[in-house]
């Protein structure tokens, strides 16, 4: 079997069009959902992420503003900004880009965001609502994975789903979303004994580990659906040879020669694509869905705040 591609770019486009249509409907009522993105320090990757979030807002007709603070900002100073944004009626969503510099108490900042504006879904109130299956702003990446599975009509109810990774931002909310959709869910982590024996039972495998191509053909049963959340850099030719078959292998070797690295996931496509029925590529799988879901969450926050 050669796995079919779960195309995240296509699904993200579909979500963004849906959001843009609803945003233009709200515009007729004089409502423009607004996102405030806060970035502290000058981590280049964070700047790229925030830049593309702001650009996507503009493309979809949402209002956005960017707050760039120096790397020396204190917890109190950042709290003061969050507080101002909480009270700013033009702002429906507040996003504090992680990671924050060491001197800042990240937990205090995330808990200071008004849960009604918590478009990342990281606040304990939203996590609690998610656990209870109530209306909540849900973390963008796992919410995007559900959109992806639905778009391709992958049955979730009754499926054995194995989530590898138990982080607060991906693994745990992912497991809860699958559970609410009536999957039988197993969560694995670094202390799981015989990971491959567990993942081989799965109809759906979600890899959110952060380890280059750790999930191989040995971890997957014939016909499984495999979603690769991981974003890692491969930096050696040996890695490329192990991870990719042709024609992708040659393309990646070229990228490596040019840039010294290439983006890879937690799944080894060379061996997994032989067995899986469906597989997400990296890049072009889960990544684009995260931003699309941030837009959707900002829209939802705007509607919920106005009781729409």
- Measured from the CB atom, is 26 or 209 closer to ligand NDP? 209
- Span from 78-86, 95-103, 225-233, 249-257 in contact with ligand NDP (CB under 6 A): 225-233
- Binder of ligand NDP out of 31, 169, 179, 255 (CB under 6 A): 169
- Measured from the CB atom, is 67 or 219 closer to ligand NDP? 219
- Give catalytic residue positions: 53, 97, 120
- Binder of ligand NDP out of 32, 47, 211, 242 (CB under 6 A): 211
Q: How far is CA 17 from CA 7, 21, 38, 41, 257, in A?
A: 16, 6, 25, 33, 37
Residue 142 in the binding site for ligand NDP (CB under 6 A): no
CB of 30 to ligand NDP, least distance (A): 33
Site for ligand NDP in 268-307 (CB under 6 A): 286-287, 290
State the alpha helices, DSSP H only, in 4-139.
8-28, 44-60, 75-86, 106-112, 124-131
- Measured from the CB atom, is 18 or 211 closer to ligand NDP? 211
- Binder of ligand NDP out of 35, 188, 202, 264 (CB under 6 A): 188
- β-pair type (232-234, 262-264): antiparallel
**88-117: b (≥16 Cβ within 10 Å) or e:** eeebbbbbbbbebbeebbbeebbebbbbbb
CB of 62 to ligand NDP, least distance (A): 19
- Binder of ligand NDP out of 35, 39, 94, 229 (CB under 6 A): 229
SS3 label, residue 157: coil
- Cα separation, 298 vs 308, in Å, equals 13
State the alpha helices, DSSP H only, in 235-286.
237-243, 248-259, 269-272
User: Which residue's CB atom is positioned nearest to ligand NDP?
Assistant: 167
Long-range CB contacts for residues 175-181, cutoff 8 Å, separation at least 24: 176/130, 176/131, 177/130, 177/138, 177/142, 177/143, 177/145, 177/146, 178/146, 178/204, 178/206, 180/133, 181/146, 181/156, 181/157
Site for ligand NDP in 29-48 (CB under 6 A): none
x/- contact string, 77-116, with ligand NDP (CB under 6 A)? ----------------------------------------
- Binder of ligand NDP out of 230, 267, 270, 273 (CB under 6 A): 230
Residue 261 in the binding site for ligand NDP (CB under 6 A): no
Could you give phi then psi for residue 132, rounded to 5 degrees? -80, 0
CB of 27 to ligand NDP, least distance (A): 29
Could you give phi then psi for residue 184, rounded to 5 degrees? -95, 110
Using alpha carbons only, give the angle 146, 281, 200 rounded to the nearest 5 degrees.
70
CB of 43 to ligand NDP, least distance (A): 14
- Measured from the CB atom, is 31 or 231 closer to ligand NDP? 231
- Cα separation, 228 vs 282, in Å, equals 7
- Measured from the CB atom, is 140 or 156 closer to ligand NDP? 140
Contacting positions for ligand NDP (CB under 6 A)? 141, 164-167, 169-171, 188-192, 195, 208-211, 229-232, 286-287, 290
């Amino acid at each position: 079997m050669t796995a079919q591609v779960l195309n995240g770019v296509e699904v993200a486009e579909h979500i963004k069009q849906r959001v843009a249509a609803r945003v233009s409907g709200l515009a007729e009522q004089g409502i423009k959902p607004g996102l405030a993105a806060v970035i502290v320090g000058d981590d280049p990757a964070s700047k790229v992420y925030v830049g593309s979030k702001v650009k996507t807002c503009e493309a979809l007709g949402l209002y956005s503003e960017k707050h760039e603070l120096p790397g020396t900002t204190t917890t109190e100073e950042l709290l003061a900004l969050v507080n101002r944004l909480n009270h700013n009626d033009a702002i429906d969503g507040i996003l504090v880009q992680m990671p924050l510099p060491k001197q800042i108490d990240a937990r205090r900042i995330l808990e200071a965001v008004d849960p009604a504006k918590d478009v990342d879904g990281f606040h304990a109130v939203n996590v609690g609502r998610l656990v209870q299956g109530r209306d909540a702003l849900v973390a963008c990446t796992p919410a995007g994975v559900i959109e992806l599975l639905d778009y391709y009509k992958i049955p979730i109810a009754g499926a054995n789903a194995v989530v590898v990774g138990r982080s607060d931002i991906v693994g745990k909310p992912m497991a809860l979303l699958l559970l609410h959709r009536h999957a039988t869910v197993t969560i694995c982590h670094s202390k799981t004994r015989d990971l491959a024996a567990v993942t081989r039972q799965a109809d759906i495998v979600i890899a959110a580990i952060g380890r280059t191509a750790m999930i191989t053909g040995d971890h997957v049963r014939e016909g499984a659906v495999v979603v690769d959340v991981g974003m890692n850099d491969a930096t050696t030719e040996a890695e490329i040879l192990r991870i990719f078959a042709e024609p992708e292998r040659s393309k990646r070797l070229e990228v490596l020669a040019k840039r010294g690295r290439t983006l890879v996931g937690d799944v080894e496509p060379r061996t997994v694509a032989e067995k899986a029925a469906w597989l997400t590529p990296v890049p072009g799988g889960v990544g684009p869905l995260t931003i699309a879901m941030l837009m959707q969450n900002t829209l939802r926050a705007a509607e919920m705040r106005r009781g729409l």
